[in-house]
Amino acid sequence: MNAPNRFARLLAAFSLAATGSAWAQMTPVGTWHNIDDKTGEIKSEIRVYDADGGAVHGRVEKLLRKDAKPDSRCVDCEGDRKDKLIVGLEIIRGARKVAGKDVWEGGKILDPENGREYSLRMTPIEGGRKLEVRGSIAFIGRTQTWVRVP
């Protein structure tokens, strides 16, 4: 095979790979930096994964806040998460993709700082480089924007 044909095939393969990874990014599955919506500080690293037939879950992988203590526990949590280490704690449970949309909802998200659980809605934005994470009770809630870890 001559050099121009080899280059053309390599370019085509690269284009397909890049297109495929762009589509794969429009999902909450991956590793994210959780950004504090009040201070703008990176709080933690969270891994969101497909757990059971399309439902996504998420765990705290690392605490990144400068004053974070690696042995912090969820003292205000209830049930199976009571007094568990925050690192490794499952904070997202059971969100599912909404048919025809790049939105995941129907699950719950836990705030380990206060032990409260909220209804969850996650929406990948900016080509999947960021994730809008909304926790709410009834019509009251707040939204954080998480940043995908490369």
Query: 141-144 contacts: CB < 8 A, separation 24 or more?
Result: 142/37, 143/37, 144/34, 144/35, 144/36, 144/37
User: Mean pLDDT per segment of 10 residues, for the chain of length 150 residues?
Assistant: 47 41 72 89 96 91 92 96 97 96 96 95 97 93 93
Sequence ranges of the domains in the chain? 25-148
CATH architecture of 25-148: Beta Barrel (2.40)
Q: Whole-prediction pTM value?
A: 0.81
pLDDT of residue 100: 93
pLDDT of residue 1: 54
pLDDT of residue 138: 86
